[in-house]
Chain A
Amino acid sequence: MIGNPEFVRNLWLQCTWPRLLAAAVVIAIIYYAAVYWGEPGQAGAVFINKWLFHFIIGLWSTRRAAEALAEEVGSNTWEIQRMSGLSAWSMAWGKLLGATAYPWFCALLCLALMDASLINRSAPSDEILFLNINLVVSGLIAQAVSLSVALLLLRKAQLRRRLMVTFAQVCGLIAYANSFFGDVASLVSGFHLVSWYGKGYPALSFDLVSLIVFGGWMWFGLYRLMRLELQYRNWPWAWIGFLAYALFFVGGFFADAQATVAEALLAPFSVSVILTYLSFLAEPKDPVRYRWGMIAFASGDLGKALSFVPLWLISYIVTAALGIALAVSLPQGPLAPLENTWLKHLWFWPHMGLRPQVFFIACVLFVGRDILFLLLLNLGSWRQRADLAGLIYLLIAYFPLTSIIGFVGGLSLLPVVVPYDAGNLILSFAPVLVEIGVLAMLIGRRWQASVAIKPGIAPAASAG
């Protein structure tokens, strides 16, 4: 580990002896204060140290992870870093663990003191072990998410604002939320079984394994993003793999022996829709890359074309396939087959109309419409704010507008703004298809006006 120069450089910056000593003294004082004034049996010390760990890793280290990159960009050292001979993996972990080395030092001190208190309280060793792994892995995930979001923002040229660093930190903090499951689980040790693909697993073990696998994906994602930043060519296999894993993992909770095909497909479809939007928002919508990809595809260079394929397109194709499979697997008739699923708790349940088949096909079309709408904004002159503005427009369309239309009794207008079975196929699908057609035409015009290279013709794609 010490051989990684990026890690060592961060240690030079972060972990000076005075700082280490100061942290140890402050944490020791807090610990003894908690033991002295806290609840008997060191319960107070356990509580204080656990929450100190949460604070240090959840709030502070996620900030440091995002700032590790933002500071490099802001001080013009990132270009030099990108020219180093370090591999993407060395750069990723050296930067992440190096930038968060000082918070980790403080947090691990807290963890050690918490463990000491737990041992003093004769807590079961497996509970202590679970808690430790849960906290540390959650922290590593949170930091990886924070730095990954910072890298994504950098690719979208939006990392220079402090607000964006805070956004990356908040994403890391959200990812850290799983660590609180450890708190719950430790209170009710081994509290129930998790049903996954019809088999029961102990909740604690299942959570721990899931967390570690998820953490592996997050670190792999960070590595892949670092590869892109260091100008390596990425093919989309990793995203396809993650997509498949996420759908498989979530699907397991709903695919027990009694579940119908439709019930089993519902959760993966929902996750796929979410990942389609997330991947679209995460990626830079670089029209030049789209153009290169199209030229490579047209010239038959599929290998090169694949490296330009946007990940949201792959996600959307999966969403469309799952949506169609879901519609086909449902029996003809009203919503009865889904009335016992969690779907009926969603806000749009009343808007699903009579036939869920129509609703799910319409869902696929509306996701496509939204993507085209956001893409249109991204091809405009104010593309830096296109995603945020587009999301606000869509939220207005999906929530207040739908409610107003429902309130004034204009249900026949609902298919214009949300997926809705209006009674016949033409009324249900025609509005969204018209919207898609208009958006496609507008994108075509905007492409011609601002994106296509006017002088000269791009050479046939074969190298580079």
Chain B
Amino acid sequence: MIDVSHLTYDYPGRRALDDVSVTIAPLTITALVGPNGAGKSTFLRLCAALDRPYFGQVKIDGIDIHDDPRAAHQRMGFLPDFFGLYDEITVQQCLLYRARAQGVSSSAAETAARRAADRLGLGDRLREKAGTLSRGLRQRLAIAQAIIHEPKVLMLDEPASGLDPEARIALAQVLRQLRDDGMTIIVSSHILAELEDYSTHMLIIRDGKIVEFTPIGQAAHHEGRQRLRIRLAQEDMRLPAIVQQVADISLIEGDALTAVIDIADDAGRRADVLKQLIGAGLAVSEFAPEHLGLQDAYLNHVHNGTNGATIAAPQAMSGTQVAKGVQS
């Protein structure tokens, strides 16, 4: 759905994005994370055709967004970090204007405005002026404006900032619903726990480069496979070797106490493997799906990066390679 290739952007004396390539699959919610100044907002702005890159290409639904920004904008919605609304006009007028500006025909604009308002829970506030809405409702109206033309891609920069917990939960529900309705979503946020609620993938940017692009949560169970964590009651040096001897599973990582394996997502197969491990004399105390949360994954990377262990990888692990790895 979103194909980014060799995206490069400079500020005076500084490279903000350096040869970034990534392919984001349809119907996913990608959490865009990274430290301040990493290039997240620049990445989003380039993907939204708000800035023009020095080099590289962004295609959304097959359209080169910098060759034909208008056509691309009719297929995408974007909510910037600091968004504004036309406070002097009503919610309905805001939505009607946005629908028409995004190419929705005048006959369909009324319906589109009503549908977007209902989706975001604004159906009973159409006659209110935008300037009278609370922070949470303004956020909803801004998202309603961004999705009014049923874009295939939705990009949100810090959508939950300033929202109370209840509004954040509601926002998560809205995003999941939009994904289920057929949108591909990219969300940039610093609130990792909240991103974890609805994200299917995590894209980490650091120093203008992609250092990781990986599925998280349920999405990690891709193509009928899943990761399991095995833990023993006491250390047994034979654990890695025994695991590797079991057919049709692969060892991701392991030591004398724990092992993470990749296995077919099939209950019968899991029972069979567990039986073999116990039969080999291993004191298995835990045999459960590995759930690496977004926060854990991000902190792992930050930790490793701080120690200089794996962040050097971006040169070798370019965005394209990572993306292909995810898709394969």
Instruction: Please tell me if the beta carbons of B50 and A231 are within 8 angstroms of each other in the complex.
Output: yes
Given contacts A6-B101, A287-B12, A453-B10, contact A463 B50 (CB under 8 A): no
With an 8 A cutoff between CB atoms, is B258 at the interface?
no
- State A82–B93 Cα separation when bound (angstroms): 19
Question: How big is chain A's contact interface, by range?
Answer: 35 or more
With an 8 A cutoff between CB atoms, is A458 at the interface?
yes
Instruction: Please tell me if the beta carbons of A86 and B70 are within 8 angstroms of each other in the complex.
Output: yes
Stretch at the interface among B30-38, B52-60, B241-249: B52-60
With an 8 A cutoff between CB atoms, is A84 at the interface?
yes
Residues of chain B in range 62-114 having any CB-CB distance to chain A below 8 Å: 66, 69-71, 73-74, 76-78, 80, 82-89, 93, 97-98, 100-103, 106
Residues of chain A in range 270-297 having any CB-CB distance to chain B below 8 Å: 287-288, 291-292
Contacts of B13 in A (CB 8 A): 450-454
Contacts of A80 in B (CB 8 A): 78, 80, 83-84, 145
Stretch at the interface among A8-16, A45-53, A100-108, A411-419: A8-16
With an 8 A cutoff between CB atoms, is A230 at the interface?
yes
Write out, one digit per residue, whether chain A residues 229-269 have a CB within 8 A of any chain B CB (1) or not (0): 01111000000000000000000000000000000000000
Given contacts A85-B149, A464-B55, contact A450 B12 (CB under 8 A): yes
- State A9–B48 Cα separation when bound (angstroms): 23
Instruction: Please tell me if the beta carbons of B49 and A231 are within 8 angstroms of each other in the complex.
Output: yes
Given contacts A79-B80, A85-B103, A231-B66, contact A456 B15 (CB under 8 A): yes
Which of A5, A12, A456, A464 is in CB contact (< 8 Å) with B89? A12
Given contacts A232-B69, A450-B13, A463-B55, contact A83 B93 (CB under 8 A): no
Q: A9-B97, A80-B84, A82-B50 are in contact. List 4 more A-B contacts (CB 8 A).
A: A12-B93, A86-B101, A463-B55, A463-B57
In the complex, what residue of chain B is closest to A81 when comparing beta carbons?
B101
Instruction: Please tell me if the beta carbons of B15 and A453 are within 8 angstroms of each other in the complex.
Output: yes
Contacts of A450 in B (CB 8 A): 12-13
With an 8 A cutoff between CB atoms, is B184 at the interface?
no
Query: Measuring CB to CB, which residues of chain A are less than 8 angstroms from any residue of chain B?
Result: 3, 5-6, 8-9, 12-13, 75-77, 79-87, 230-233, 287-288, 291-292, 450-456, 458-459, 461, 463-464
Measured between C-beta atoms, what is the minimum distance from B225 to chain A in Å?
A: 36
- State A11–B161 Cα separation when bound (angstroms): 33
Tell which of A75, A80, A459, A461 has the most Cβ of chain B within 10 Å: A80
Contacts of A79 in B (CB 8 A): 50, 78, 80, 83
Residues of chain B in range 101-158 having any CB-CB distance to chain A below 8 Å: 101-103, 106, 145, 149
Residues of chain B in range 188-223 having any CB-CB distance to chain A below 8 Å: none
With an 8 A cutoff between CB atoms, is B6 at the interface?
yes
In the complex, what residue of chain B is closest to A286 when comparing beta carbons?
B12
- State A83–B103 Cα separation when bound (angstroms): 12
Measured between C-beta atoms, what is the minimum distance from B77 to chain A in Å?
A: 8
